[in-house]
Structure 1
């Protein structure tokens, strides 16, 4: 699918300015299945009329059209999430599959942002994602390769957050950040190619399920033994975002 024309067509009849759009999800992480959707995510700027209007306008654009799954946050919503070191939005900011980028001085902004984020927020987000995936596997007869690898990715990312290391987005590069002797890494590396060849709803064989659950639970126990504290100065992060937000709005509205 050619994504850029889809984005351009979407904004033809809208007042908002498209700013930044990337590929998210399994394609970004290098573990897409043959039938994976295109999960396009990013940010827009309200029109000048919307910005100055006293009425509140919706801060979200959502479009689902076949394989094209599109979500866009307005700039204020984006920065509100970044101020909380929201890991999902941080992944969009760090993405290497970029369809559109109209942010001024983007590289400098991103570098400064990543120096100011809170690894504690990353830790709890990725740990929660992994546990949520495990609950679904065991309670909804949904023990798919997709859910397993989402949980593996979450636990490995949480482990790196305890060390103040930014988890890589590509799963093969994420594996390389983990101890070579880690049993969970061994299982994941062996089964990644199988996952890529399976459809989204393909189930892990019953004989493998007990083994992978043990590996996942062992990793959670190890993580629970590692206390983690906030790693950033929230005021400095907020000031940094305020300054860049002001610069963007001057750039587009003046």
Structure 2
């Protein structure tokens, strides 16, 4: 599958007349809890030639394509849009630049954009994303006797990311196991989460699960803390001058 994805990425470059600066895996395969039939969520950051940015008309700055009967989803943003989102500490962008699975990437670019992400990181902006996602997914499953394990992990990871943001100043890691390792959680909770990761690795995306009272209580506590304490996190604004310098360097 990796070879297929690289082939599609290379053909996309030619077809769209772009240069892909980063192509990586996101979603459950990058988060660390895939199912055997999980889709491939490939995300890219790309650039056009310099003249493209000098037009008075702002052209479309995103790409979305599907391959292999929608099993492979490739989408992403132009570098200018990406850096505008960086200023806002956009959580999906902060995740993809950390991805452990790279299909294509300029190593210097990846290092520099991660450094810029750290310098422009806003805890209050990022917790807003994870809190909304945690609440939405938690509400979807909390009143069901059986629920999709996939939805459970979406809620669990988002709630844990909220806890990370409250307790640490670093950007939350994209990999869920690293998030768990970096927090001081009850050993029994971590052990059970790891057991469920092993379960999810063997069942389909449609598998329905039940129980896990302790983990539901843990998620609820994370959400409640984030709603109260998240409002008091420091407000941070991205440095547009630094982002502009990097943007000009990338497209030059």
Question: When the two structures are superposed, what TM-score results if normalisation uses the length of structure 1?
Answer: 0.86
1:221 and 2:197 equivalent?
no
Question: Aligned to 2:28, which of 26, 29, 34?
Answer: 26
| Residue 17 of structure 2: aligned partner | 15
Question: Aligned to 1:42, which of 44, 55, 61?
Answer: 44
Take 1:145 and 1:135, find their aligned partners in 2: how far apart are those partners?
A: 14
Task: Structure 2 unaligned segments of length 5 or more: list them.
Answer: none
Take 1:57 and 1:142, find their aligned partners in 2: how far apart are those partners?
A: 46
Greater RCO (CA < 8 Å, at least 6 residues apart): 2
Take 1:94 and 1:165, find their aligned partners in 2: how far apart are those partners?
A: 13
1:54 and 2:56 equivalent?
yes
Question: When the two structures are superposed, what TM-score results if normalisation uses the length of structure 2?
Answer: 0.87
**Cα pair 1:33 1:195 within 8 Å, conserved:** yes
| Residue 137 of structure 1: aligned partner | 141
**Cα pair 2:22 2:110 within 8 Å, conserved:** no
Equivalent residues in 2 for 1:65-104 (5 A)? Answer: 65=67, 66=69, 67-102=71-106, 104=108
- How has the CA–CA distance of structure 1 residues 106 and 212 changed in structure 2, closer, same or farther, with 3 Å as cutoff? closer
Take 2:187 and 2:226, find their aligned partners in 1: how far apart are those partners?
A: 13
Question: Aligned to 2:203, which of 177, 198, 204?
Answer: 198
Take 2:79 and 2:119, find their aligned partners in 1: how far apart are those partners?
A: 20
C-alpha RMSD of the superposition: 2.3
Take 1:56 and 1:124, find their aligned partners in 2: how far apart are those partners?
A: 29
